[in-house]
Structure 1
Amino acid sequence: MSLDRTVLAFAGVMVLLSVVLTVWVSPLFVWFTVFIGLNLLQSAFTGLCPAAFVFRKLGIKPGCAF
């Protein structure tokens, strides 16, 4: 799996996790969802993704976007 697909899969898992936490744990976890959305927006405009840096250090092969 390339770095691009790994980052997209990780983002999807984090969004779903934040929704589950918001519904079943506390409504305040909606801020976690907001944080994820803002991070996705900034990476779209800047091309810098903190998760991509971590996954690259873990040895995931590079993709086209990151």
Structure 2
Amino acid sequence: MTIDKAVLSFAGVMVLVSVVLTLLFSQWWLILTALVGLNLLQTGFTGFCPAAMLLKKLGVKPGVAFE
């Protein structure tokens, strides 16, 4: 798995988890969904992604988007 796929997969899992938590507990969990979306938007504009930096340090092979 490349860094690109791992970052996007992690973001998708976080959105799904926040939706489930919203349905089970409280609408406040939608804040997590908003934060994930804002992080993806910020990464698209700046190219800075903390998760990609961490995965790179852990030795995950780079993909095209986060070189």
Task: Provide TM-score, normalisation by structure 1.
Answer: 0.92
| Counterpart residue number, 1:14 | 14
Say whether 1:61 aligns with 2:61: yes
Task: Provide the aligned length of Structure 1 versus Structure 2.
Answer: 66
Flag structure 1 segments of 5+ consecutive residues without an equivalent.
none
Task: Provide TM-score, normalisation by structure 2.
Answer: 0.91
Alpha-carbon distance, 1:60 to partner: 0.6
Residues 4-53 of structure 1 deviation map (CA, whole Å, 9 limit, x = unaligned) = 11111111111101111111121111111111110010001011111111
| Counterpart residue number, 2:34 | 34
Instruction: Give the aligned CA root-mean-square deviation in angstroms.
Output: 0.8
Flag structure 2 segments of 5+ consecutive residues without an equivalent.
none
Identity of aligned residues (%): 59
